[in-house]
Structure 1
Amino acid sequence: MKDKIFAYEGEGIKCVYNNDDWVICIKNWKPDNDIEGLHRLEVHHATDEQFILLNGKSILLVADRNNRKFDIEVIEMEPGKIYNVPRETWFYTIAQKDTKVMYIQDADTSEDNSEYCELSESELAEIKGKAAKIFNK
């Protein structure tokens, strides 16, 4: 048996490992995950998802949604720690350039068991204010 080594240096996401039960993906900075590109949150209805910051600066947004409004927690990720987002929890990541995050999720995660929701202007302003403090440390 030979070991396999997986890497990805491009922009955005690449699923580098899939064993038909779960996948490991590498998520590098992309405009959609920049603080200026942020516009939505997502939720997985069937599975948890785990995130690990490998390098750079990244923020994990997690939220509950009640009465069509989000109660958003802004978490500064620390390298090497595992952040578990339980199913039915809204989330997203914000990253600075040169950031690399790894995530693990069920291999069957798709548009069929996930959804997206646009953030309101006030929610975006709140997130951007908190994120600026973290990124400018």
Structure 2
Amino acid sequence: MVEEFTINEEGYHPFIIKKGWQLAKLNYTKEQHISQITQLDVHLKTDEIFVAITGKAVLIAAEIIENEPKFEIELMKVNQIYNIPKGVWHNIAMEEGSEVFIAEKADTHVSDFEHFPLDNDKIEELRILVSSELQSEID
């Protein structure tokens, strides 16, 4: 009667998909390292809930004004629940060993996303912001 799930592989893995909702696990992958983030994503039909399980992860949110993203970043606390409302551009930077649960509408990963590519100046700005946030946590 009890279902049990263990997901150790790198990357994004929806593992419970039910009518109307899904739960996924995002395990660190090189693509989520701050040095590799080159775009933002948005979901138009669902909020997205994030819960850090272990490691260090930084949620990146942005408002795009006149084709320029204005970033807001949040160093995630383990076991704290974070919500990115539908329509908010976002991404997540992770350090090696980090794991995050993600809850959202079912099949969001299949059809409800758009991408916004960052230019080189915005990539560098984001790297500085995230690195500074991670460093301030160490200090």
TM-score (norm 1): 0.94
Looking at structure 2, the residues matched to 17 and 79 of structure 1 have their Cα atoms a distance apart, in angstroms, of 21
Looking at structure 2, the residues matched to 29 and 42 of structure 1 have their Cα atoms a distance apart, in angstroms, of 18
Partner of 1:109: 108
Give the structure with the higher percent helix.
2
Partner of 2:16: 17
Residue-by-residue CA offset, 1:37-91 (whole Å, 9 max, x unaligned): 1110000011100000000000000011111010110110001111100000000
TM-superposed deviation, 1:111: 5.3
Partner of 2:134: 135
Partner of 1:39: 38
Residue-by-residue CA offset, 1:10-57 (whole Å, 9 max, x unaligned): 010111111121110000111110111111000001110000000000
Q: Which moved more, 1:112-121 or 1:55-64?
A: 112-121
Q: How many equivalent pairs are there?
A: 136
Looking at structure 1, the residues matched to 117 and 41 of structure 2 have their Cα atoms a distance apart, in angstroms, of 9
- Aligned partners of 2:53 and 2:79 also within 8 Å: yes
TM-superposed deviation, 1:135: 2.8
Looking at structure 1, the residues matched to 134 and 65 of structure 2 have their Cα atoms a distance apart, in angstroms, of 28
Looking at structure 1, the residues matched to 36 and 109 of structure 2 have their Cα atoms a distance apart, in angstroms, of 22
Instruction: Report sequence identity in percent.
Output: 23
TM-superposed deviation, 1:128: 0.7
Partner of 2:99: 100
Partner of 2:27: 28
Distance change >3 Å, CA 127–CA 58, structure 1 → 2 = same
- Aligned partners of 1:6 and 1:17 also within 8 Å: no
SS in 1 for 2:34: coil
For structure 1, the 5+ residue unaligned runs are none
Looking at structure 2, the residues matched to 17 and 111 of structure 1 have their Cα atoms a distance apart, in angstroms, of 14
Query: Aligned AA for 2:24?
Result: C
SS in 2 for 1:97: coil
User: How big is the alpha-carbon RMSD for the aligned residues of Structure 1 and Structure 2?
Assistant: 1.2
Superposed, which structure 2 residues align to 1:27-106 within 5 Å? 27-106=26-105
